Structure 1
């Protein structure tokens, strides 16, 4: 299992969480499913559902010159999300 750290910027807030997953794609989907909308201003269950419907086809872009770091951006009705993902060594 790998640990992935997700750093999301959304409507003026920064939200950070970690997910354990076998690979990046699995981590991305698990991260979205586990978002706690009560902690994210302006992102309710309806908007989370919209995000879940989009996230499966999302392919994070690797960041040049650094390893194990990716980025993606998604627009939903509630606003624009920018997310950085870091494969995190927890040892």
Structure 2
């Protein structure tokens, strides 16, 4: 099975963070996103805590009603809500002019 490109749009502590990972499905994408946070650390020291939460998640992200290939994942970090929207995205090679 082929990996898909997933775009994460994350809202946390007043900041908006966007990144992309490749994975088989949205649940695996969440774990790949956690790995990428450990390296890129866009949220500073909190990135490690967020990555841990992504790895500890047993349930897959929640599909959004009425939309195809869009999920939501939330967690609480030190009493603050983190909201991540996950979109399976066409890669550049799949976009036709």
User: What band does the TM-score fall into relative to the shorter chain?
Assistant: 0.7 to 0.9
Matches within 5 A, 1:61-72: 61-72=62-73
- For 2:64 and 2:51, the matched residues in 1 are separated by 27
Query: CA-to-partner distance for each residue in 1:43-82, whole Å, 9 max, x for gaps?
Result: 253x245424533x13211111110000111002262210
Moved over 4 A (4+): none
Structure 1: which 5+ runs fail to align?
none
TM score, norm. by length of structure 1: 0.82
The gaps in structure 2 that reach 5 residues or longer are: none
Equivalent residue in structure 2 for 1:27, among 19, 26, 29: 29
The structure with the larger Rg is 2
Quickly say closer, same or farther: Cα 1:71–1:82, change in 2 above 3 A.
Answer: same
